[in-house]
Amino acid sequence: MDDGDGGELNGKYIESDARRRRIKEYIDLLKSPYLDTRWKAAEALGSDGDQTAVLPLIEALDDPFYDVSWLAAKSLGTIGDTRAVEPLIKALKSENKWLRTGAAIGLGKLKDNRAVEPLITALHDDKEQVRKDAARALGNIGDERALAPLEKALSDPDELVRSAAELAIKAIKMKPASTNAKPASL
C-alpha cells in the first residue's frame, strides 16, 4: 500500500507519457500526404508548446502549401524557442504573403530583438496584412529602434496598419527602458 503520493506521481507520469506520445504523433503527421492533416498538426504543436516540435516546425516552414507553413510559423512563436528566430526572419522574405504574415506573428511572440530590423523592413511590404502584423510584432518586441519607422507607418494607406502602428508605438513608449526587448542570444 502506498501513502497516497505514489498514485499522484504515477498519474503525472502517465499524463506526461501520453503528452510525449501525442507530440510525437503530431510531429509524424507533419509529414502526412494530406494537407489538412499537416496544417492541423502544425497548429496543434503550437498549442502544446513542446520544445521537441521546434525543429520539425522549422522544417514545415518549407512545406509547399502555405496553409501548413504559416501555421508552423505562428506555432514556433507560441512555443517560444529562440532557435526559430533566424528561420522566421528568413520566412519574412517568402514570396507568399501568408508565410510572411505567420513569420511576423511568430517573431512578435518570440520578442527577440534580432527580428527588429527585418520587421521594420516588413512595414514596407506590398501586402497590408504583413505590414499590420509586422507593426504588431514590433510593439510586442518593444525595441525603441522601431519608433521612427512605426511613426511613418501612421500614414500607411491601410487603416488597420495605421491602427496597429499606433498601438505598437504606445506599447513601446509604455515599457520601461530596461525591459524594452530580450537581448539577442548568441
pLDDT given for residue 10 in this prediction: 62
Res 90 pLDDT > 90? yes
Which residue type sits at 154?
Answer: L
pTM score, whole prediction: 0.86
For the stretch 126-179, pLDDT in tens is 999 999 999 999 999 999 999 999 999 999 999 999 999 999 999 999 987 655
Residue 136 has which C-alpha cell?
Answer: 504588431
For CA atoms 122, 127, 129, 132, the dihedral sign is positive
Task: Give me the residue spans of the domains in the chain.
Answer: 5-179
SS3 84: helix
Return the pLDDT at 176. 76
Which residues are paired to 182 by β-bridges? 112
Percent of the chain exceeding pLDDT 70 equals 88
Second-level CATH architecture of 5-179 = Alpha Horseshoe (1.25)
Residue 77: the pLDDT is 97
CA-based nearest residue to 47, from 80, 70, 14, 21: 80
Q: Which of 155, 119, 162 is nearest to 140 (CA)?
A: 119
Q: Are 141 and 171 in contact (CB under 8 A)?
A: no
pLDDT at 8: 62
What mean pLDDT comes out for the span 82-86? 98
